[in-house]
A and B are shown apart, each in its own frame.
Chain A
Amino acid sequence: MRERDKKLLEFLEESGAYLHTLLMRLTLPEDISEELMQELFIKLSCLRDLDGITSLRAYAQRTAINLAFDWRRKNRQNAVKITEIDKPISKEASPLTKLIQDEELEKVLDVMGRLKGAGRQVVVMRYIQQQSYDFIAEQLGKTSHQVRALCHKALSQIRVLLEGNHYQVNRKRLDNV
């Protein structure tokens, strides 16, 4: 077996579960996260000079996030509702509250897909993958301070997008030509 494939298989054993969990949190259906895992590793095996990557995990994570949001955008109508999968349910919440909550979760995920690369990645790593600022900073080659600032900015953007306004900086890009 080639060195490259050995390296990828080792990487799969080491980080596969983590990446699969990440994909699932962002897309939700099990079969989709399984498919995207394949796509991710095929991309890694075809496109990259693996030896030139300091952190394969950081690179794979970034690509996985992009693949997941790409899928969400293409398949928004068919996206599985959060009610259909296992998640911790608030015991006190009424069915109507739960329904509203699920829709709002979908909206948050959809809106996150509209953020620019670094902001989106930082929000996913911090709030969905529950990683520390220091760890994220190390993965992205930035300082903790920069990561905090990116996080704060991204959350602001999410808030504004959810409220139906275009974020000032992104306005022209979202409106396009």
Chain B
Amino acid sequence: MSKFDEKEIRHKLEIISQIKPTSQSTGRALEKVRRALISEEERDSNTNLWSKFKKSRVTRLAAAAVIIMAIGILIFPHRPAERTKPPEVLEVTKSPADLLTVASLSIAYRRGGIVEVERQCDEAIEKLGRRETKVSIQELFTEFNGT
């Protein structure tokens, strides 16, 4: 094979760029796609009938659930005044560093398996929060100069 330089490569690509399909071929391609799209639409419209039916059943069930809940609320009204407030508990929140030690993650695993480990990792990331990845020159000068 001859040694290629980029000029050669561009020349080859230019040759390829001049290839054109015949109009019959393009016509055939477009017609096949049209037919494929139309037949897919017909197939989907049959399944759509089914999904509409399912949806309407689901809608009916959902409506029934709402009615049952509404009845429940009427029979057992919520009386906030009578509820006793739970004692206030001072929650000591853990830092991301605390959440991500071997001990903490091991305890998380024993408590809730790998799902709990992943949840704790997510919690730590949440606490680390979003941070700037860029600092402007102006900000740096301001820091140095104290103004």
Contacts and interface: CB of A to CB of B under 8 A. Distances in A.
Direct contact of A and B (CB under 8 A): yes
Interface of A: 1-2, 5, 8-9, 12-13, 16-17, 20-21, 24-25, 28, 30, 33-34, 37-38, 41-42, 45, 82, 85-88, 100-101, 104-105, 107-109, 123, 127-130, 155-156, 158-159, 162-163
Contact of A34 (B6, B25, B37): B25
Q: Helix, strand, loop or mixed for chain B's interface?
A: helix
A17 B45 CA distance: 28
Interface of B: 1-6, 9-10, 12-22, 25-26, 28-30, 32-34, 36-38, 40-41, 44-45
Contacts of B19: 24-25, 28, 82, 85-87
A142 B22 CA distance: 34
**Most chain A beta carbons < 10 A, residue from B6, B17, B37:** B37
Given A2-B41, A21-B20, A38-B33, 9 more contacts: A1-B41, A2-B45, A9-B34, A16-B29, A20-B25, A34-B29, A37-B32, A86-B19, A128-B16
Given A16-B29, A33-B29, A34-B28, A163 B3 contact: yes
